[in-house]
Amino acid sequence: MDPLVRFKDAHSRGIIPDNVFDLTMKRFPITVSGINRIEKASGIKYPIAYVEPSLVITSSHPNSYEFGILFARTIPVMFEEKFQVVIQISAPLVTYGLRGTIHAILAHEFLHFLDLMRKISKMELLSDELSGNLFENVYSDETRLFEPRVVFKDRTLLNHITKKFPAGFRDFKLENKVMKFWADKNLPKSNIALDTNTVKLSAESISRIKLDPAFVSKLKQLEEKSSKIHKKRLY
């Protein structure tokens, strides 16, 4: 799968202007290098990723003035009765994000991917929890992920994650730039409700998923090491 196929299609249809297209294509190798870096640091293959040609925003409810920008999402899909996890990367992140920011967000979504696969391996994931509050959603997000220093053997990458995700991702410079050069220019936007950014898979669907035993064993090791670190924090 060409990760830029949707973005290229949007450009060919005149939805993405030439200057934004050229800048995004020029900076896309930063995203590729981030994925390669994460694979090297974790020893685990990164899931399929693609660039979404829109700014993805979410709010607690349609009439709310409180909203957040989703620069990337981890999306489980069933295609032709086969399970696949896809990482959706918002084009504005590729176009305007700094190298460290892009790599940190890609790594963060990778942790979501691992957490999702852990739940599936244990048949725990029938329906992910819902939250209609952005703050609650951030708290839930931070408490369910694998410990980054257990997963990634890359000190610089760990520093990027720690700085960008102390309690949910915020990068005001990036957000301001995206609002000015993307949203205010009326470039494509996708609005999703916060409670739709969840995972819903039936027990039957999960039972048909076949995972590599070596991968499941790796997940178990990472979970055990992360659990020990979490317990030390509590006590």
Amino acid 209: pLDDT: 81
Tokens of 7: 């973005």
Amino acid 145: pLDDT: 74
Q: Give the model's confidence band at 78: pLDDT under 50 very low, under 70 low, under 90 confident, else very high.
A: confident
End-to-end Cα separation, the chain, in angstroms: 46
SS3 string, 81-145, reads CEEEEEEEEEHHHHHHCCHHHHHHHHHHHHHHHHHHHHHHHCCCCCECCCCCCHHHHHHHHHHCC
Q: What is the pLDDT of residues 94-150, one digit of tens each?
A: 999 999 999 999 999 999 999 988 988 887 654 444 444 444 444 445 556 788 999
